[in-house]
Chains A and B, each alone.
Chain A
Amino acid sequence: MTQPRWLLLFSSMIGIAGFVGVLVACQASDAMDEEGSQMPPSYPGNEYPSLDGGGSGGGAMADAALPPEQELESEYGSPVATERYVWVANPVSGRVAYVDATTLEVRTVPAGNSPKAIAPVPNPDRDTAIVINELSGDATLLQADDAGNVSTTTFGIANEANSWAISPSGRWAIAWANADLYPNPNPVQGFQDISVIDVQTEKVSRLSIGYRPIAFSFSKGEERAHAVTQDGISVIDLLLPQGPSVSKLIPTSDDDFETSDTRDVSITPDGSLAFVRQNGSQDVTVVSLTDGHRIRVQLSGECTDLDLSADGTRAIAAIRDQHEIAILPVPQIATAPEDFEVVSIPNVTVGSVVIAAGAPVAFGFSNAAVEQRMAKIRWDVTPIRVQTMALHSPVLAVFLAENASSAIVVHKDKNSHARAFSALTLDPELPAKIVATQAEVFGVSLTPSGDRAVVAERNDASKIFGAYLVRRDNLQIDRYPLFSPPIAVGTVLGAKRAFVAQQHPEGRLTFIDLDTGLSRTLTGFELAARVIDGSQP
């Protein structure tokens, strides 16, 4: 699997907030249908096993008939949390509410006109977030002091920006326009303007990059930022005396006219290499971001997914048709393209790969096939260990704790609805515990240690909303009914609480204590600002 867009965005957030928060853009969600969000391909004629295990569960489907793997994880939104606070923007009121996850005190602070996209900014001294004000064409940096008072700094930014890329240190914040978030954008809308904010010096640089950026990454020392665009990879030098500047565009293909919208690009954490995968191709292109040199790595079959390990030492490619995975050593593969290891996994169709952020463990599975199993791959041992894990329903998506001690597997039913999940304890390995949900699984969040997970469910038609708290050690799973649709889940480790953000006109967050399981719902963040002492202007 290529480095998914969310991961590029998330890589910094995981370190800040200490969580992995992910949302499943449920394929069957009625609300998603109505909102016109991306829908997965339908599967006419395919008979999917029911959740009671009535299906074949094997890997015997004709590979040629399989549709492409779905990058469901990349559809997941991000809960916005810092060490102490959960931040919520209200575009209607122009305010940002910040909730102290320890005391659950809610405060608000004015931002600009229509604040929407908000992101946490790493800052060891102060909880910091930054928000794009869509209608006023600016961004507001919000910094909380120890007393919980927030100071704001406003930056003028390019229009159309709707997304953030934040450097791991928190020095750089890049506001950019993600075309995917615009409904039916006109082809002449290039979304090529970005604003690079130096949070340290509070200076803004407006730059132009390639056509329709998809994702951003930063080099290890944050000397450069890389923008993956449909034209190629734009390299932004950040530390020039005159300020950030775009230094070059590195093509990711030999053919300038090749269709680029099926191309997935992953960039190594140090920013030295990019791995390019394209649907239908059995080649992986390794691009040097230093000199633009391209190397082609030829696999035994179509590469259906490619993921980079968090430490940047491995790239794992799924070769679904061959029931193989290829483990590419990084950076050696850039100079020795034939020198990589291939592991055969005959009894599991591996079309997608998910890698633990902090452990040499990956899961291989297919959400295009109908299989009640997946493969656990461990590559820090010789020979590489592959273990088949039995599940009780076909796999839709897999979420792996940072240390690979636990995982949540989202299952699909015969209509490809995410109506069940399994909780897996991997250390020690215990049988997967499957839970039939009352609505489609919508979001999953695991703590980095993997001891807790929160799974949100949502069905707008039946108005069934809920969240599950999963305890790893005894696989105790408790459901919490919600009264409004969840939109994001996450955890605030500093407060030992998970939160489920919900769709509500006044804003709603349900906090779940990770130790006691006690929940508390806060609704109406704006109401605090609407309590007016008559003596005040």
Chain B
Amino acid sequence: MKYSHAIFVGIASITLLSGCGDRPESWDTPAVVRFDKGLENSFALIDESMHSVHLFSVDESLNLSQVRKNTGKNVVAVMASPQADRLFVLSKGEQPRRKSSDERPALWVYDGSGSGNLLSKYTLSNPLDSIAVDPEGRFVVLYSSGASGSFVTNRNELLVIDTSLPPGDTNPLPRTIRSFGGTPQRLTFTSPLNLPSGQRRLLIIETDQDLSLLDLDHLDRKEVTVRLSNDYKVVPAGVTYTDGVPQRNDDARLAVRTTKENSVFLLTFVPQANASAENDFGLTVNIIGLTSTPSDFAFVNTDGGLRLAMLEAGMRRATLVDPDTTTETQVDMPASFGRISLVTREISDAPAGGSDVAMLWGYEGVAFWSLGKSVGQAYRSIEVLPDIDSSVGNVVSVPAPNQSLKILVPNDAGYGGRRFYVLNLANRTASPLLTSASSLSLTVSADGQRAWFFQRNSREMAVVDLLTMHPQNLVLEQPITSVFDIGRAGGGRAMVALHYQGNMGATVVDAFSPDEASARMHVGLLQGGF
């Protein structure tokens, strides 16, 4: 392993300069880093002591180039855009503000491609501490988790920022959703839905007792609230939605499951019947009965048409519900799964006629559910992967071109908890991999070629070539906190393992030919901007 030459020069310089006159404030201020983030071609560290964002890129020689940018005081949240091309930093600013020059709360948006330029700064009137980012990257919604410590907090106020537009009088746009006592718990941005009045994107706001919908294409309109019960005892636990048949504009639907109810709320978007209402879509609500609380659900295309597929925890069956009629079809399962993910696009043998294939996973292994046979020949629709006999706690998708791969991460407490699998949906094989780690963290490269496994605060890590399944183990010199796989300037990719030691360090490895011997160890990343 090679140490960065600049670091040695730096240390020598420190020795020489320490006794010479004034020095920058940063020299005497220890770095405080709570947030790091991997981006498309760089990674970011937030030094809160200096109120700065440091964006590092890697060159062909595995050297680091650093850009330092100012950011807000009292950073509370940091997120990357879905394409990892931008960095969002949410700061509270100076609280309380005593002078007009005291910094206000703000959302800072930086370029993540390597330049680190500040793209936008959206100033807020009140500090907020939570961010929800639109999967399409356009909108950011800021809200309060309730832990801001402010004297008065309106937890139902959402600040909607259209990041495609510069800051302005209506950007951010504050929106307080009508509340019947609940507060937002989860936000979901829909993809475009073909509603009776046209194509719309919606923000679905799950509170702890009801549901609100905000038209992202008409942010000037009030939200639509669906009170799920009169007694406020119904607590949403998740949503799923469908646009329905592409040619139709009357079959977009939204389903809501709850924490305790043996039922699912089914909302259908219909033309607005109330001429005085602001929103140009209406909703009809139905409730689908089950025998227990659903653990997961998804809209699926079957040989019988669109269905809502629901799994119930501990039940060896799935239920398919026709959203038009609420007619239910029960499909016996060989095991209890609990979770469902659609994998139609990732497999090579998708059923003809547009039916979906779902991957069932969770408590008792993994199975594939061919929904092209789910109504007529339900008994032939399940294919269990016999090699996976353990409980699967998480499924990690792999980007293109290896999107047919899924990495199955076991539940630590489950049987075979130290075994994970790389599942190939194309041929429906599962490659088991063993690890000696008691808990695993995982980073999948954006090019879909590799997966990096590591255990936090351990020096051991491994990279698995997702084409050959060849694992290569690496032992770094410092405990690992985070791992990023980023693009290098001039081509290629690099693995960066962050070490929260001293003034931050990083080990940089050529991602295409990982080797400890050729790794570059960089220390003192936040060495006062020297």
A533 / chain B contacts, CB cutoff of 8 Å: 222, 224, 274, 277-279
B221 within 8 Å of A (CB atoms): yes
Most chain B CB inside 10 Å of its own CB: which residue of A106, A504, A530 = A530
Chain B minimum-CB-distance residue to A536: B277
The reply to whether B325 and A531 contact each other, CB–CB distance below 8 Å, is: no
Query: Taking the nearest CB of chain A, how far is it from the CB of B178, in angstroms?
Result: 5
> Known: A481-B328, A520-B327. Is A531-B278 also a contact (CB below 8 A)?
no
> Known: A531-B282, A532-B178, A536-B274. Is A524-B222 also a contact (CB below 8 A)?
no
Tell me which residues from 258 to 307 in chain B have a Cβ below 8 Å from any Cβ of chain A.
Answer: 262-263, 265, 274, 276-279, 282-291
The reply to whether A531 and B221 contact each other, CB–CB distance below 8 Å, is: no
Complex Cα distance A105/B177, Å?
28
Complex Cα distance A519/B288, Å?
13
> Known: A519-B325, A521-B326. Is A535-B289 also a contact (CB below 8 A)?
no
Tell me which residues from 72 to 111 in chain A have a Cβ below 8 Å from any Cβ of chain B.
Answer: 92-93, 105-106
A463 within 8 Å of B (CB atoms): yes
The reply to whether A532 and B227 contact each other, CB–CB distance below 8 Å, is: yes
The reply to whether B178 and A526 contact each other, CB–CB distance below 8 Å, is: no
Most chain B CB inside 10 Å of its own CB: which residue of A484, A523, A528 = A523
B429 / chain A contacts, CB cutoff of 8 Å: none
B206 within 8 Å of A (CB atoms): no
The reply to whether B286 and A531 contact each other, CB–CB distance below 8 Å, is: no
> Known: A518-B327, A532-B227, A534-B224. Is A524-B289 also a contact (CB below 8 A)?
no
A508 / chain B contacts, CB cutoff of 8 Å: 287, 289
A505 / chain B contacts, CB cutoff of 8 Å: 229
Complex Cα distance A245/B69, Å?
92
The reply to whether B278 and A534 contact each other, CB–CB distance below 8 Å, is: yes
Query: Taking the nearest CB of chain B, how far is it from the CB of A466, in angstroms?
Result: 12
Most chain A CB inside 10 Å of its own CB: which residue of B287, B290, B291, B327 = B287
Complex Cα distance A504/B286, Å?
12
Of B277, B286, B328, the residue contacting A524 (CB under 8 A) is B286
A524 / chain B contacts, CB cutoff of 8 Å: 265, 285-287
A522 / chain B contacts, CB cutoff of 8 Å: 286, 326
B262 / chain A contacts, CB cutoff of 8 Å: 483
A478 within 8 Å of B (CB atoms): no
Query: Taking the nearest CB of chain B, how far is it from the CB of A272, in angstroms?
Result: 50
The reply to whether B326 and A531 contact each other, CB–CB distance below 8 Å, is: no
Complex Cα distance A519/B291, Å?
19
Most chain B CB inside 10 Å of its own CB: which residue of A106, A484, A505, A526 = A505
> Known: A526-B230, A530-B227, A536-B276. Is A483-B284 also a contact (CB below 8 A)?
no
Contact indicator per residue, chain A 496-530, by CB within 8 Å of chain B (1) or not (0): 00000000111010000000001111111011101
The reply to whether A92 and B222 contact each other, CB–CB distance below 8 Å, is: no
> Known: A484-B289, A535-B278. Is A527-B226 also a contact (CB below 8 A)?
yes
Complex Cα distance A504/B288, Å?
11
B289 / chain A contacts, CB cutoff of 8 Å: 482-484, 504, 508, 521, 523
> Known: A528-B284, A532-B227. Is A483-B290 also a contact (CB below 8 A)?
yes
Query: Taking the nearest CB of chain A, how far is it from the CB of B314, in angstroms?
Result: 16
Query: Taking the nearest CB of chain B, how far is it from the CB of A328, in angstroms?
Result: 50
Complex Cα distance A106/B285, Å?
9
Complex Cα distance A531/B254, Å?
14
A481 / chain B contacts, CB cutoff of 8 Å: 328
B265 / chain A contacts, CB cutoff of 8 Å: 524, 527
> Known: A519-B327, A532-B227, A534-B178. Is A483-B285 also a contact (CB below 8 A)?
no
> Known: A520-B327, A535-B276. Is A530-B226 also a contact (CB below 8 A)?
yes
Query: Taking the nearest CB of chain A, how far is it from the CB of B111, in angstroms?
Result: 36
B274 / chain A contacts, CB cutoff of 8 Å: 533, 536
Chain B minimum-CB-distance residue to A519: B327
Chain A minimum-CB-distance residue to B177: A534
Complex Cα distance A92/B228, Å?
15
The reply to whether B224 and A528 contact each other, CB–CB distance below 8 Å, is: no
The reply to whether B326 and A520 contact each other, CB–CB distance below 8 Å, is: yes
B223 within 8 Å of A (CB atoms): yes
B288 / chain A contacts, CB cutoff of 8 Å: 521, 523
Query: Taking the nearest CB of chain B, how far is it from the CB of A99, in angstroms?
Result: 12
What is the interface size of chain B, counting residues whose CB is below 8 A from a CB of the partner?
A: 35
Query: Taking the nearest CB of chain A, how far is it from the CB of B15, in angstroms?
Result: 65
Complex Cα distance A167/B229, Å?
38
B223 / chain A contacts, CB cutoff of 8 Å: 534
The reply to whether B282 and A523 contact each other, CB–CB distance below 8 Å, is: no
Query: Taking the nearest CB of chain A, how far is it from the CB of B317, in angstroms?
Result: 13
> Known: A484-B289, A524-B287, A527-B265. Is A534-B282 also a contact (CB below 8 A)?
no
Contact indicator per residue, chain B 192-235, by CB within 8 Å of chain A (1) or not (0): 00000000000000000000000000000111111111100000
A484 / chain B contacts, CB cutoff of 8 Å: 289
Query: Taking the nearest CB of chain A, how far is it from the CB of B216, in angstroms?
Result: 15
Of A483, A504, A526, A535, the residue contacting B222 (CB under 8 A) is A535
Complex Cα distance A483/B292, Å?
10
B283 / chain A contacts, CB cutoff of 8 Å: 531
Tell me which residues from 279 to 295 in chain A have a Cβ below 8 Å from any Cβ of chain B.
Answer: none
Complex Cα distance A508/B263, Å?
12
The reply to whether A523 and B225 contact each other, CB–CB distance below 8 Å, is: no
Query: Taking the nearest CB of chain B, how far is it from the CB of A345, in angstroms?
Result: 46
Tell me which residues from 334 to 360 in chain A have a Cβ below 8 Å from any Cβ of chain B.
Answer: none
Most chain A CB inside 10 Å of its own CB: which residue of B221, B274, B284 = B284
> Known: A520-B327, A521-B326, A526-B230. Is A531-B279 also a contact (CB below 8 A)?
no
Chain A minimum-CB-distance residue to B214: A534
A518 / chain B contacts, CB cutoff of 8 Å: 325, 327
B324 / chain A contacts, CB cutoff of 8 Å: 520
Chain B minimum-CB-distance residue to A511: B325
The reply to whether A531 and B291 contact each other, CB–CB distance below 8 Å, is: no
B229 / chain A contacts, CB cutoff of 8 Å: 505-506
Of B224, B327, B328, the residue contacting A531 (CB under 8 A) is B224
Complex Cα distance A523/B265, Å?
9
The reply to whether B263 and A523 contact each other, CB–CB distance below 8 Å, is: yes
Contact indicator per residue, chain B 162-192, by CB within 8 Å of chain A (1) or not (0): 0000000000000001100000000000000
A463 / chain B contacts, CB cutoff of 8 Å: 291
B221 / chain A contacts, CB cutoff of 8 Å: 534-535
A504 / chain B contacts, CB cutoff of 8 Å: 287, 289
The reply to whether A92 and B230 contact each other, CB–CB distance below 8 Å, is: yes
Complex Cα distance A515/B91, Å?
64
Complex Cα distance A534/B281, Å?
12
Chain A minimum-CB-distance residue to B321: A521
The reply to whether A532 and B284 contact each other, CB–CB distance below 8 Å, is: no
Query: Taking the nearest CB of chain A, how far is it from the CB of B290, in angstroms?
Result: 7
Query: Taking the nearest CB of chain B, how far is it from the CB of A255, in angstroms?
Result: 53
Complex Cα distance A249/B379, Å?
69
Complex Cα distance A463/B290, Å?
12
Chain A minimum-CB-distance residue to B325: A520
Complex Cα distance A363/B286, Å?
42
> Known: A534-B222, A534-B224, A535-B221. Is A93-B230 also a contact (CB below 8 A)?
yes
Most chain B CB inside 10 Å of its own CB: which residue of A523, A527, A536 = A527
The reply to whether B178 and A106 contact each other, CB–CB distance below 8 Å, is: no
Chain B minimum-CB-distance residue to A480: B327
Tell me which residues from 430 to 445 in chain A have a Cβ below 8 Å from any Cβ of chain B.
Answer: none
Query: Taking the nearest CB of chain B, how far is it from the CB of A520, in angstroms?
Result: 4
Most chain A CB inside 10 Å of its own CB: which residue of B230, B278, B327 = B230
Of A483, A521, A526, A535, the residue contacting B291 (CB under 8 A) is A483
B177 / chain A contacts, CB cutoff of 8 Å: 534
- Provide 28 A-B residue pairs closer than 8 Å at the C-beta atoms, listed in order of the A residue: A463-B291, A483-B289, A508-B289, A519-B325, A519-B327, A520-B325, A520-B326, A521-B286, A521-B288, A521-B289, A521-B325, A521-B327, A523-B286, A523-B289, A524-B286, A526-B230, A527-B226, A527-B227, A527-B228, A530-B226, A530-B230, A530-B285, A531-B285, A532-B226, A533-B222, A533-B279, A535-B221, A535-B277
- 7 tightest CB-CB pairs across the interface, nearest first? A534-B222, A483-B289, A523-B287, A527-B285, A535-B278, A530-B227, A533-B277
* Supplied contacts A524-B265, A533-B278, A536-B277, 4 more A-B pairs, CB within 8 Å: A520-B324, A532-B226, A532-B227, A534-B279
